Chains A and B, each alone.
Chain A
């Protein structure tokens, strides 16, 4: 089934709804007209002169209204509408999963923690108003320190978006040691952006001075880049039509801006991606499998609530792979400190327990289950991923 067929079904509903509602108006108009006609007859100058005449007008009106069978008229379109409404609802239930909470484990989520996660998420995204607002409404604990940090980050990034590097440079020099410690040459990269701006818009002397003052200290670590940059000087004022044009491209700026965001988060001890976005996205990918599993296990609700490990893998995309998981192809056990992966001389990898089993507790040589090569426990070695 396709979404488009659901849309068609909905269009049918909407059509019936319009029919039914215009029918209602028609009936109301009809009744109104009859009454107004009777009124006119009664009020006409040569209208009923006796109470008997007047009564006959009213009786006449009554029978006319009865003839309209107003309620009966309404019924037909309403019935059709109701039919299409329930058809559409059934269609929704068939195409979509009508209850995605089936795989929910009944544990209390601490709302304070969830609120704190949401507020941090808003701050990280630069949505400071929203973060403040939820803190205000939910009474989340104090996140002022985090707010300040993300505020600083967003100010730097926003300035970079209008090609103002001053805040970025200030931050870079204040965090020089930390950046070096994590092996980042980001400060150098920010200076190169600035240098290119000077080359393009300033005098050659300015550019040279800038290079001597700010780039030279990084030269020994970035030899190639540094030399390439000095080449820029040849094209001062016309970089856009030089081999260096990409250094001024929006894409290049965007890349370094993003890197600054990343490094800023790293130094904060934070992830670059919002952990809330990551967890929810993983949930969207994982939930269909979990729902199928919950269906299969529907009879074992107890087990579902208590299990320590999911009985089946929930496949997530590459972007959610944060850890190396070794699964022994023989025993299907996940590797662990007690049962680490071992490299056989044939370069196949099994877990330690499998090897011990194959070698009858290290008492004999064994054949690799994947190739005929012989091995002993002694010539296997432990791997670290």
Chain B
């Protein structure tokens, strides 16, 4: 790995004549906007980490809202249906038996609604509990249980990844064996699972039903998922050479999208002139199986958006941030320490397109102890120019009657020959 890629290209103006003032990097207009907190104290750092947990609270909240809305709608619909049933009865000329039957049917309708309401409010309460459990979980993080809390966080992140990737079995197993069911969104993804599996079987019905369920919100976000599903259904009719039905279908379901998506609409309609084995590239692609994969991806995106999830799996986001922060040119050298994730091929590969980290100040790690060399454990220079921590060298001297052996060159010195280096 070339070191060139590290030079930030804007220090040519940094003059050596005023070094004592340690002028900030001339490029650092942005740097000043991002004060970096000292990493030592867990307090502010924990607060910052908690602020990343929006999705953790938002998803169960969206689920809760959705249940509330569905319950409202059910009540409104049923109650108005019953009232208008009474209005009808009042103006109809019912026989006494008919009147009784009619009223009885309204009563049982209300009873049905009552049961539904009870169920609905149970569901609401359960989801409220889940929202609260997550707030409690965030609040429970403190210095004492931090390492356990962090390990739970990793599990949550992994479950999120596996759910998005449709590795449901592993997701459920991990949640169960770590007892974190309330902290992950398996229930929410059940809804997605049905739709995705149907799409994978080339069935758009559940996806369309999902669109209908979330119509107003999808409309607000200008989603064209429904249009894309309809296009695919149309293509399937053309594929089956069911042209008359295809045209009827297009009139009914595609035409309404004409105002906003004319170009796509025309392109798909043009397939009527061809058959499924067309060689014309523009149309051939519409018949390909990967269109279905594309629909699955589209659906996943809309689904995540609707629930307030990030578009990318949390794991990818955290991995990217972590690897950018860890990435140095030294990581890609053969002698990179194994404890650095970037010593591993897998991590190196995914970090490849990421930027290197940057340092404004020297950070020196003792080759022997792997500990940071700072004012408490200052670096000492051997006559051969190799630098180790005071701690490591003192220990070595103690064991060997004041003799020091450079572990990298084998040269031997007396402890008294070492000098402390001042590194700012």
Which range contains the number of A residues in contact with the other chain? Answer: 35 or more
Q: A28-B79, A313-B36, A349-B423 are in contact. Are A287 and B110 (CB under 8 A)?
A: no
A190 at the interface (CB under 8 A from B): no
- List B141-191 residues whose CB lies under 8 Å from chain A: 150-151, 153-154, 157-158, 161-162, 165, 167-170, 173-174, 177
Enumerate chain A residues within 8 angstroms of B131, measured Cβ to Cβ. 10
Check if A100 sits within 8 Å of B361, measured CB to CB.
Answer: no
Cβ contact within 8 Å between B350 and A110 = yes
Q: Cβ of B359 and Cβ of A62 under 8 Å apart?
A: no
9 additional A-B pairs beyond A21-B71, A98-B58, beta carbons within 8 Å, are: A71-B79, A129-B173, A281-B150, A309-B8, A310-B325, A320-B326, A321-B372, A322-B342, A370-B424
Q: List 19 A-B contacts (CB under 8 A).
A: A32-B107, A71-B80, A74-B72, A96-B57, A101-B317, A105-B353, A109-B350, A265-B338, A282-B325, A290-B325, A293-B30, A296-B34, A322-B339, A323-B330, A323-B331, A324-B364, A343-B385, A343-B421, A358-B16
Please report the C-alpha to C-alpha distance between residue A333 and residue B370 in the assembled complex, in whole angstroms: 23
- Kindly state the separation between the CA atoms of A98 and B167 in the bound complex, as whole angstroms: 26
A128 to B10, CA, bound (A): 50
Cβ contact within 8 Å between B16 and A137: no
Interface membership of chain B positions 5-25, coded 1 if the CB is closer than 8 angstroms to chain A and 0 otherwise:
111100100101001101001
- Say whether A38 contacts B103, CB under 8 Å: yes
B405 CB contacts on chain A under 8 angstroms: none
Interface size class of B (residues with CB under 8 A): 35 or more
With both beta carbons as reference points, the residue of chain A lying nearest to B386 in the complex is identified as: A384
Asked if A286 and B11 make an inter-chain contact with CB atoms under 8 angstroms apart, the answer reads: no
Across the two chains, which residue of chain A brings its CB closest to B134?
A10
Interface residue A211 (Cβ < 8 Å from any Cβ of B): no
User: Which B residues are in CB contact (< 8 Å) with A329?
Assistant: 19, 22, 362, 424
Evaluate contact between B50 and A270: CB separation under 8 angstroms.
Answer: no
- Which A residues lie within 8 Å of B121 (CB)? 18, 21, 25
Cβ of A55 within 8 Å of any chain B Cβ, yes or no, is yes
Residue B216 interfacial (CB < 8 Å): no
* A98 contact set on B, CB distance < 8 A: 54, 58, 308
A83 within 8 A of B: no
The interface-forming segment of A87-95, A191-199, A229-237, A238-246 is A87-95
Known: A58-B90, A283-B317, A326-B423. A36 touches B107 (CB 8 A): yes
Which of B94-102, B200-208, B224-232, B281-289 touches A? B94-102
CB distance from A340 to the nearest CB of B (A): 9
A138 to B170, CA, bound (A): 10
**Looking across the interface, which residue of chain B has its beta carbon closest to that of A297?**
B30
Residues in A whose Cβ lies below 8 Å from that of B100: 39, 42-43
Which of the 9-residue segments B111-119, B257-265, B272-280 touches chain A?
B111-119
A61 lies within 8 A of B317 (CB): no
Q: Are B325 and A285 in contact (CB under 8 A)?
A: yes
Q: Does B218 contact A (CB under 8 A)?
A: no
A269 contacts the other chain (CB 8 A): yes
Is there contact, CB below 8 Å, between B54 and A280?
A: no
Query: C-beta contact mask, A164-181 vs B, less than 8 Å → 1, else 0?
Result: 000000000000000000
- Which of A153-161, A214-222, A249-257, A271-279 contacts its partner? A271-279
Report A-chain residues with C-beta under 8 Å of the C-beta of B14.
330-332
A114 at the interface (CB under 8 A from B): yes
Q: With a CB–CB cut-off of 8 A, which chain B residues contact A36?
A: 107
For the complex formed, measure the closest distance between the CB of B135 and the CB atoms of chain A, giving whole angstroms.
5
| Nearest Cβ on chain B to A323's Cβ, whole angstroms | 4
B287 → A minimal CB distance (Å):
26
- Report the nearest B residue to A103, measured CB to CB: B321
Q: Which of A64-82 contact B (CB under 8 A)?
A: 65-66, 70-71, 74, 78, 81
Give Cα A29 to B22, complex, Å: 77
Nearest CB in chain A: distance from B161 CB, A: 7
Point out the residues of chain B lying under 8 angstroms from A347, CB to CB. Answer: 419-422
- Per a CB cutoff under 8 Å, which of B16, B19, B117 touches A24? B117
A74 near B79 (CB under 8 angstroms)? yes
Q: Which residues of B contact A18 (CB under 8 A)?
A: 121, 125
Determine whether the beta carbon of A369 is less than 8 Å from that of B20: yes
Q: Mark A306-346, 1 if CB is under 8 A from B, else 0.
A: 01111111111110111111110111111011110001000
Q: In this assembly, does B328 line the interface, its C-beta being within 8 Å of a C-beta of chain A? A: yes
Q: Confirm or deny: B294 has a beta carbon within 8 angstroms of a beta carbon on chain A.
A: no
Which of B81-89, B240-248, B295-303, B390-398 lies at the interface?
Answer: B81-89
Q: Is B381 an interface residue (CB 8 A)?
A: yes
Pairs A-B, 9 closest by C-beta atoms:
A283-B322, A336-B3, A283-B318, A286-B325, A275-B341, A282-B322, A369-B19, A96-B54, A322-B340
Chain A residues whose C-beta falls within 8 Å of the C-beta of B19 in the assembled complex:
329-330, 354, 369-370
Chain B stretch 390-424: residues in CB contact (< 8 A) with chain A: 408, 419-424
A residues less than 8 Å from B330 (CB atoms): 322-325
Q: Which of A17, A61, A323, A339 contacts B124 (CB 8 A)?
A: A17
Asked whether A184 is an interface residue with its Cβ less than 8 Å from the other chain, the reply is no
B39 neighbours in A (Cβ, 8 Å): 285, 315-318
